Each structure stands twice: as structure tokens, then as C-alpha cells.
């Protein structure tokens, strides 16, 4: 695979080159990918997300070599995968997407255990992707709990703005 294509994938269509908050820009690309994936049946969504995870491992490993830097901020394919994990098996609503985006970015920035340890101690593509995958799992569990115990919360904003539901 050419270096140019690896860079395009690793930077999520060059969003990782955003001068301010490239991780946030990558997560916004993740929302676009999520819109495509959200139309899939649940089993296909999960298989596609798993495939994206393994692709991100491979691409991130090669991008680190190309950039000559460990976990370059330009590598944001991990944010895309982390957001897909965040939204797995959740309703595709504006409230869920905004909540997923905000909580995912918060955890990706503050790196609670074991996310921070993964980020500090591991190397290579696995380290680049795994910390975002774990953040995505944390946020998914939080949103799943909200959806289970207070299901109206994930639909509330949609009703206010669009009269949906």
C-alpha cells in the first residue's frame, strides 16, 4: 500500500492535519462514518467496527514509521474507531451522537485508568488504537446504562428539535 494512501487513512481523510484539535476533527469524521455504519444490521455494524479496529492497528503502525513519531497527532483513525465503538448498538439519535461525542472526547483527553497507562506504556499501532477503543467502551457502557435506565434521555433532544419520537 502506498505511503500516501496510508497517510490518508491514518489521518482520516487528512482531518488529522487540522491545526487545532486534530483528535476532535478525527472524531467528527467518525460521526460521518457512524452515519454510514448505523444503517447496517447490528451484527454487520459490529463486524465492520471490528474490521475497522484491525485496519486501524495496521495503518497506525505504518503511519508511525512514516511520520517518524510515536502516536503522531496526525494519526486520527483511532478516534474514528473509538467513536464507532462508542456508538455500537445505541439508537442513532442526535442526543446519543452528541453525548457520545462529548463523553468520548472527554475520556480521550483526560485518559482515566487504564487508558492513560495504555497510552504511556504501550508502543506501536496497538497503543495508538487501544486507548481510544477502551475510551469508546467506557462511553458505550455509560450510554447503554442511560438508555437502559432512562431511555427517554437519548431521545429527548430529538423530540425538542425535530418533534421526533
Q: What is the pLDDT of residues 110-155, one digit of tens each?
A: 998 988 888 788 888 999 999 999 999 999 999 999 888 877 766 6
What does the radius of gyration of the chain's CA atoms come to, in whole angstroms?
A: 16
End-to-end CA distance of the chain: give it in Å, rounded. 46
Average pLDDT, the chain: 91
The pLDDT, as a whole number, for residue 150 is 79
Cα(133)–Cα(83) distance, integer angstroms = 8
Q: What is the pTM of this model?
A: 0.91
The pLDDT, as a whole number, for residue 155 is 65
The pLDDT, as a whole number, for residue 149 is 83
pLDDT, tens only, 17-34: 999 999 999 999 999 999
Range of the domain at 20: 3-162
**Rounded alpha-carbon distances, angstroms, from residue 135 to 17, 39, 132:** 22, 23, 5
- Sign (positive/negative) of CA torsion 68, 80, 99, 157? positive
pLDDT, tens only, 59-75: 999 999 999 998 899 99
Q: Which three cell numbers stand for residue 101?
A: 461525542
Query: Chain centroid to CA 67: how far?
Result: 21
Q: What is the count of structural domains for the chain?
A: 1
DSSP 73-85: TT--HHHHHHHHH
Q: Which three cell numbers stand for residue 79?
A: 478516534
Amino acid at each position: 500500500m502506498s505511503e500516501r494512501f496510508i497517510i490518508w487513512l491514518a489521518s482520516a481523510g487528512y482531518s488529522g492535519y487540522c491545526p487545532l484539535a486534530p483528535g476532535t476533527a478525527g472524531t467528527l469524521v467518525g460521526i460521518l462514518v457512524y452515519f454510514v455504519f448505523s444503517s447496517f444490521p447490528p451484527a454487520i455494524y459490529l463486524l465492520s467496527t471490528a474490521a475497522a479496529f484491525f485496519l486501524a492497528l495496521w495503518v497506525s503502525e505504518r503511519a508511525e514509521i512514516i511520520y517518524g513519531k510515536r502516536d503522531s497527532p496526525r494519526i486520527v483513525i483511532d478516534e474514528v474507531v473509538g467513536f464507532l465503538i462508542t456508538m455500537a448498538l445505541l439508537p442513532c439519535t442526535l442526543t446519543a451522537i452528541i453525548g457520545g461525542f462529548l463523553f468520548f472526547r472527554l475520556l480521550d483527553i483526560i485518559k482515566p485508568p487504564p487508558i492513560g497507562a495504555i497510552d504511556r506504556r504501550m508502543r506501536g499501532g496497538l497503543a495508538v488504537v487501544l486507548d481510544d477503543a477502551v475510551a469508546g467502551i467506557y462511553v458505550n457502557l455509560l450510554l447503554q446504562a442511560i438508555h437502559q435506565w432512562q431511555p427517554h434521555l437519548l431521545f429527548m433532544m430529538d423530540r425538542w428539535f425535530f418533534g421526533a419520537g
